[in-house]
Amino acid sequence: MNKVTLIPSHPDEGYLSMNRYWGLACQYLIGRSEVVAESILSPKLAQMGGGAGRIKKNISKYLTYPTLIKKAKLTGVVHILDHSSAHLLKYIPEGVKKIVTVHDIIPLYDNEGLSKKQIQRFRDTLENLHLADLLIADSEYTKQDLIKYIKIPADKIIVSLLGVEADYFSAGDNLMPLPFQLKPKQKMIFSIGGTDSRKNLKIFPDIIKELKALGHEVVFVRAGGKMAEEGAGKLKSLIGDNFHEMGRVSERELITLYNKTDVVVVPSNYEGFGLPVLEGMAAGAPVVSSNQSSLPEVGLDAALYFPPSDASVAARQIARIFDDASLKEDLIAKGKARVAELTWQRHFDEVVGIYSMGL
């Protein structure tokens, strides 16, 4: 029976999504009969948010954590849960099998706002992936990126799509009232996530403008990072108080927004996976997504798609959902079926299988 040590990114780094993945890995892997899995750090730390200041973060990442790993006397299999911690591979003893999950390497080629030094540091970290025995990629898109940009052999990379907790996002009795009033003819569009240029948030003013020209009155709601001033200003001039930036929301607020929206829109140029596609489907919301990178892998025929540079096509896809109740119900049903295929249980079952491949 394999002994597996899970190594997450250090919580001082403040990666909320990576902390969540770590928590899920502990939930689905520790206590299984097929492996003896443990986390090198207490799973309770996975609940931490915010991270530390820059100096403390760097000390934890590059000094304290490597020292802990060198002292741990690791055996069996080590699974590094986040590619941004690939530098830790240098501290794993010989004879220990090394696996790394790679979520995306997009900053190598879409890096607006990053300095040359930051990009080089990221590349240097990723070069350590050659020290791993196997890599797990979140999508075929990420696998191809690893082959193209890091020159990892294809047979060293196994794709395991991520999952969703369907029951977690279903309506239930825990929904909150929306913090605004929807008028009878208004339709709600929901967007969630960061504000990196790859998220393509700049397309939303043009989408809203096109929808208005098609006769639709919309309320646009954002959760996560706040939009750039220029884009936010355009939206306010188009729809005024019907533009709502919620910022960082609680879990209950997030579930409410997913369940009460008329459509979830994911316009990204690049995604390593695209969890909002699945989360929207799990909540029973139709999804309209960019047709680029990993997003069609995730949604398949359960979403409608548009080129991320074409606001007109995006608006028409959204309008189809507003105008055609049968199409909306069909997408909701297909979304539920897709969610049933992509569960976290299925993902971590595949991870357990990977632990024994060639090891």
Q: Do 6 and 141 belong together in one domain?
A: yes
Cα gap 127→47, rounded to integer Å: 30
Q: Do 9 and 155 belong together in one domain?
A: yes
* pTM for this entry: 0.94
Q: Do 91 and 133 belong together in one domain?
A: yes
Neighbours of 91 (CB within 10 A): 17
Q: Do 151 and 245 belong together in one domain?
A: no
Q: Do 137 and 214 belong together in one domain?
A: no
Q: Do 231 and 133 belong together in one domain?
A: no
Q: Which of 16-25, 104-113, 332-341 tops mean pLDDT?
A: 332-341
Q: Do 17 and 119 belong together in one domain?
A: yes
Ordered DSSP codes for 92-117: SPTTSEEEEEE---GGGT--TT--HH
Give the pLDDT band (50/70/90) at residue 46: confident
- 170 Cα distance to chain centroid: 19
Using the predicted structure, report yes or no on whether residue 359 has a pLDDT greater than 60. Answer: no
Identify the bridge partners of residue 137 per DSSP, sorted by sequence position: 102, 159
Tokens (6 digits) for 295: 């997003």
Mean of the pLDDT values across residues 327-353? 97
Looking at residue 271, what is its pLDDT?
97
pLDDT tens for each residue of 155-165: 999 999 999 99
Q: Do 15 and 149 belong together in one domain?
A: yes
Relative to beta strand 77-80, strand 35-39 is unpaired
Say which DSSP state 43 is in: G
pLDDT tens for each residue of 239-294: 999 999 999 898 889 999 999 999 999 999 999 999 999 999 999 999 999 999 99
- Give the range of the structural domain holding residue 147, as residue numbers without chain letter: 2-163+344-355
Cα gap 117→104, rounded to integer Å: 19
| Domain count of the fold of the chain | 2
Cα gap 190→177, rounded to integer Å: 15
Neighbours of 36 (CB within 10 A): 16
Tokens (6 digits) for 264: 């979830």
Q: Do 330 and 185 belong together in one domain?
A: yes
Q: Do 16 and 156 belong together in one domain?
A: yes
CATH code for position 336: 3.40.50.2000
Q: Do 115 and 95 belong together in one domain?
A: yes
Q: Where are the beta strands (DSSP E) in the chain?
A: 2-7, 35-39, 77-80, 97-102, 134-137, 157-159, 186-193, 217-224, 243-245, 263-266, 287-290, 304-306
Q: Do 36 and 18 belong together in one domain?
A: yes
